[in-house]
Amino acid sequence: MNTKTMLIVDDEPRTRQGLKKTLDTWSDGKYDIFTAANGEEAIEFMQKQKVHILITDIRMPEITGLQLLKAAKEQDINPVIIVISAYSEFEYAQEALRLGVTNYLLKPISKKVLIEAVESAEHSVAKQEQAGMIEKVVDKKLVHLYSQNPSNPEPIREAIEYINNSLKNEITQKEVADHVHLNPSYLSVLFKEHVKLTFSEYVTRRRIQRAKELLITTNLPIYDIAEESGYKTAKYFIKIFKEMEGVTPSAYRKNNNERAF
């Protein structure tokens, strides 16, 4: 499930196979590495399977590397891109950068330079996926609280931090009120005023968000995720999750089954 995909596109068989051999040895099973002899083959492949890193020659017959990148972009296919070329003309590099290329390598490419470029691309893949996961799990009503609004009174900031660190446990309003040295009724009023959610709504939303993170980034069974998110039974967790997200936890995991890490 963790294996990622790399695609090498070059019309020269020796170059194509040489790059693949070097990267197969470096990858040691981390990547499934495929090759394509031209831009058309590459587009067909990327339409069927997600490609995390694309390495493409820039000068190829029929569909050039730049045309391949444009076609991918138009179809919302967004791998991390490394361009290789025997040509150093500035306009190619300029256009490649405009199309989101992270590295532009000139032939002949040493193994060291190739591997350094791919390792750099790996970091970009991780950043892309982390951003994707945040987008998937984010709760719009909690967004403004992520950075802990400094204008919130200190007891509210402390209450939010306490809740966030205690999601696995049973959390009562009285317990949190005691922690921040406030009367529970006053905490309730203050919380609603500044967080724009009731105490229990906030706790539920944070628990479901935690569950979403675990569903996407781990293989933990549903009952373990229920427990990690603060629910005593999987049945109740599934009920609340479906009310909030419109699907069961299992369906949510299936729909977002590309792991972020």
- Collect all residues with Cβ–Cβ distance below 8 Å to 141 and sequence separation of at least 6: 196, 197, 205
Q: Is residue 60 part of a domain?
A: yes
pLDDT tier at 260, thresholds 50, 70, 90? very low
Residues 98 and 144 in one domain: no
Which amino acid would we find at residue 221?
P
Q: Of 88, 106, 130, which residue is a domain's last?
A: 130
Which pLDDT belongs to residue 143? 67
Segment 155-175 shows an average pLDDT of 94
Residues 147 and 184 in one domain: yes
Over the stretch 172-229, which tens digit does the pLDDT of each residue have? 999 999 999 999 999 999 999 988 899 999 999 999 999 998 998 888 999 999 999 9
Over the stretch 82-100, which tens digit does the pLDDT of each residue have? 999 887 766 777 788 888 8
pTM: 0.64
The rounded distance, in Å, linking the Cα atoms of 247 and 154 is 36
* Residue 161, domain extent: 140-255
Which of 120-129, 135-144, 172-181, 198-207 is the least confident region?
135-144
The rounded distance, in Å, linking the Cα atoms of 201 and 190 is 14
Residues 11 and 122 in one domain: yes
Residues 170 and 216 in one domain: yes
- Collect all residues with Cβ–Cβ distance below 8 Å to 206 and sequence separation of at least 6: 142, 163, 164, 167
Q: Is residue 260 part of a domain?
A: no
Which pLDDT belongs to residue 216? 86
More confident of the two residues 131 and 224:
224
- For the cut 60, the answer to whether the pLDDT of residue 259 exceeds it is no
Written as six digits, the tokens of 57 are 């020659």
Residues 125 and 146 in one domain: no
Residues 14 and 104 in one domain: yes
Residues 193 and 239 in one domain: yes
